[in-house]
Amino acid sequence: MTSVASVQDILARLVSFDTTSRDSNLPLIEWIEDFLRPLGAELVRAPSADGRKSNLWARFGPDQPGGIVLSGHTDVVPVDGQPWDTNPWDLIERGGKWYGRGSCDMKGFLALALAHAETFSKMQLNKPVHFAFSYDEEIGCAGVEPMIAKIAESGSAPSVVWVGEPTLWGVLSAHKGIRDYEIRITGKAAHSSDPRLGASAIHEAIDLLAVLRRIAREQEANAPASSDFDPSWTTITVGEIGGGTAANILARECRFVFDIRTVPGADADALLAPFFAEVERVNAKLSALGPECGVVVDMWANAPPLRVDRDSAAEQFIRALTGDNNLRVAAFATEAGQFQKAGFPAVICGPGSIDQAHQPNEFVAVSEIEKGLVVFRRFLDTLRV
């Protein structure tokens, strides 16, 4: 029987790998492969375009549709500038809590899954059990798509995708979608005494930002009177901005980054249409000043919402394991929306509190791992039927 100690040993190894999203996760992926290979797991990588990172899809049992996917991301957020009391890459136990970067978000769930791998390998499974471990979730769920594509192409569509993000073992049924955009504006520098001689990238950025703010205010003003989401409306925020060199020079460059978080059912393209119409206008105006001038748009992240589907196999499966029938939704995004968009029923449930995620002295309570062992024992019982 899988023990708390075995989960702790695996989690300590997982935490020891610095898988901050800006860096490679390959050493961790290689360790997991070495852990699973002797157990007979079928292992498939889905690497990033540059080969520096990779998803890992592992399968126990028959290669056929209808399996259960245990899904989680391997990357973590930076520890830079955070006041940690311990080494964030060492798993430290204090007062019934395991401290370490990623212990909660979300290597604790990965450790639970891996701790049961030997048991899966010894069972006569009549449906497959998959591990789907991704990269770059922390930067807009940007890495999981190649793995989802491989699963879709394999002809072995799962009936349940269980995303083990921290929920204190409550069932999370829906979340908002997220898109992140970077806007880079290049104008023409000139002396500020005669603005007609050039074009200020900052001035053009102001016009673009005014449109974004108008859209954001309209969404808030027309917020649903009743909603499970808090805030209940689609939000738009500008998180970064910069440009210019001096007060007496028309700014040649300006850059800003914004984030839109859509409630399920909202159409991000339609909401942002007035903004991108203004982008086209500004780009045409600036392009006339020279080939180096204009507006460049990059979308960094595009994670769809997860919509409520109480009748899905994923919802029914996790609710049976946990006994939780409450409806919960979240304003943050996960990879569950991407699995659902691909046609795979998905639901979110895992150890630890989201309040610990991204924090200094991040921890997962040992009691949460103990609860997880109970949930996994019930999971194993379903596989024996």
CA-CA distance, 309 to 313, in Å (whole number)?
A: 9
DSSP per-residue codes, 212-251: HHHHHHHHHHT--SS-SSSS-S-EEEEEEEEE-S-TTB--
Residues written for the chain: 385
CB contact at 8 A, 282 and 245: no
Q: Give the tokens for residue 254.
A: 């300006």
Quick check: is 267 catalytic? no
**Dihedral angle computed from the Cα positions of residues 221, 224, 226 and 228, in that order, rounded to the nearest 10 degrees:** -110
Q: Cα Rg for the chain, rounded, in angstroms?
A: 23
Residue 343: C-alpha distances to residues 71, 160, 184, 313, 338 (Å) = 15, 10, 35, 12, 9
Q: In what order do the strands lie in the sheet with 97-99?
A: 92-94, 97-99, 363-365
Find where tokens 């001689």 sit.
197
Q: For residue 62, how many other CB atoms are within 10 A of its CB?
A: 14
Quick check: is 75 catalytic? yes
Of 33, 34, 90, 137, the active-site residue reads 137
Of 23, 33, 42, 75, the active-site residue reads 75
Q: Is the bond into 345 cis (omega within 30 degrees of 0)?
A: no
Q: Which helix (H) or strand (E) holds 95?
A: none
Q: Give the tokens for residue 300.
A: 């960094």
- Give CA angle at 210 (206, 215), nearest 5°: 150
Residue 366: C-alpha distances to residues 85, 94, 326 (Å) = 19, 10, 24
3-state SS track over 193-212 = CCHHHCECHHHHHHHHHHHH
Q: What share of the chain is helix, strand, coil (3-state, %, to 5)?
A: 35, 25, 40
The residues that are catalytic are 75, 137
